[in-house]
Amino acid sequence: MKKLFLALTMLPMLVQGQTLEECQQAAEKNYPLIQQYGLIEKTTQLTVANIQKGWLPQVSASAQATYQSDVTAWPDEMKTMMGGMGIDMKGLTKDQFRVGIDVQQTIYDGGVIGSQKRIAREQGKVQAARNEVNIYNVRRRVNELFFGLLLIDEQIKLNTDLQTLLAGNERKLELMTKRGTAAESDLQNVKAERLNAIQKATELASQKQMLLRMLSTFCGIEINNIQKPQVKAEDGGLTAENRRPELKALDAQIGVLNAQEKALNAALMPKVGVFAQGYYGYPGLNMFEDMMRHKWSLNGIVGARVTWNIGALYTRKNDKAKLQLQRDMTENNREVFLFNNNLEQTQQHENIARYQKLMAQDGEIITLRQAVRKAAESKLAHGIIDANDLVREINQEHAACVQQSVHEIEMLKEIYDNKYTTNN
């Protein structure tokens, strides 16, 4: 169903061929990791919901049976006096039992629950940012396939031109052979070269089909054609703004550390709550009654409680220092990433400038090679050179055209690699 939806939404693109941006978008939507965004969001929601339940009454049930070495007892004088009055003062038994329920309700927690929710949300942002980094890496793989296809397409076009050129010279040599102005070996030489070009075309077509299948699988749609990007290299140095998702992931990690620091403050605050305890057992709360009658009874206690755990002060300084060290490590990771990223940008800009210089000379080289090839065709027609010389000039002209295409495609790739490097 997902692939059908992608195919329908991108149907207009299939007619004229996909652009690189369209392939990147389709690949990201088709990549299995895209589903983790929803999973991360749901996990975060469940975690926050569980933390929020800390405001609900906490109920616990317990059962207890004990045997004590000693219990509260009447003084002997009082037992004697009571016995004289006909009252049996049994005292408490050493075996005691109780089954009870304890209910506690937090009224004020000093911000602990709120800080835990903030930490959970920030951790969810970290997971989402890391997932975005993994999905962003798909673009580089799409770029490799896309520009590989562009280069194959250019080579196929040039190979077609080469075959046309060789076929034209082959026809001329056939006429010359019939007139006796060219040797049969010259004709065979050109024909063999044309067959070599046909073999190369078969190889290029196979490579193109393989890359198309790989790109189609990556994007989740059928791709039969692609559009060549129409961009120009921009002058200048490093891009001012870097939007790489790795930087967002580092920002998210800082957010977690900030939330954890606020949680340290919450740990120092007092807690206020109410409680209720009820149990059925022996002895109860009426000690005198239980010392006279060994019966189980219902008992209950309600009240309010204020607690203040100052133990958090013992580790607070070290905990804050640890968080600051983790911040420093995160910022150091940011500096390392930007340093390497800037180096990569510098290399890409230098490569773009180099290809621009090479392309400025490619046109002149091709013009000269065409002139030499045409002169060779004329010389062959007048019997000055043989077919070997002509084939050599044709191949050199073809090589110059291929080199121009390689320089152009490689420059385009460097431009888009630079876009990938900065996410611009």
Residue 135 has pLDDT above 90, yes or no: yes
In eight-state DSSP terms, residue 220 is T
Lowest mean pLDDT among 175-184, 297-306, 367-376: 175-184
Instruction: State pTM to two decimals.
Output: 0.82
> Taking every pair of C-alpha atoms in the chain, what is the biggest distance, in angstroms?
157
**Structure token digits, residue 1:** 């169903």
How does pLDDT run across 343-359, given as a tens digit for each residue? 999 999 999 999 999 99
For residue 13, is it within any domain? Answer: yes
Residue 97 near residue 64 (C-beta atoms within 8 A): yes
Residue 235 has pLDDT above 60, yes or no: no
Q: What is the mean pLDDT of residues 378-383?
A: 89
For residue 151, is it within any domain? Answer: yes
**Structure token digits, residue 235:** 């002058």
Element (H, E) at 103: strand 95-108
Sequence-distant (6+) residues with CB within 8 A of 268 are 110, 310, 312, 313, 316
How confident is the model at residue 118, as a pLDDT? 96
We report the CATH number of the domain holding residue 378 as 1.20.1600.10
**Structure token digits, residue 141:** 């793989």
Q: HSE on the CB side for 358, CA within 13 Å?
A: 18
Band of pLDDT at residue 234, cut at 50, 70 and 90: low
For residue 165, is it within any domain? Answer: yes
Residue 223 near residue 216 (C-beta atoms within 8 A): yes
For residue 287, is it within any domain? Answer: no
Domain that holds residue 369: 2-30+137-243+317-422
* Percent of the chain topping pLDDT 90: 76
Structurally, how many domains does the chain consist of? 1
Lowest mean pLDDT among 145-149, 231-235, 361-365: 231-235
DSSP 156-213: HHHHHHHHHHHHHHHHHHHHHHHHTSS-HHHHHHHHHHHHHHHHHHHHHHHHHHHHHH
For residue 143, is it within any domain? Answer: yes
For residue 351, is it within any domain? Answer: yes
For residue 114, is it within any domain? Answer: no
For residue 26, is it within any domain? Answer: yes
Residue 14 has pLDDT above 50, yes or no: no
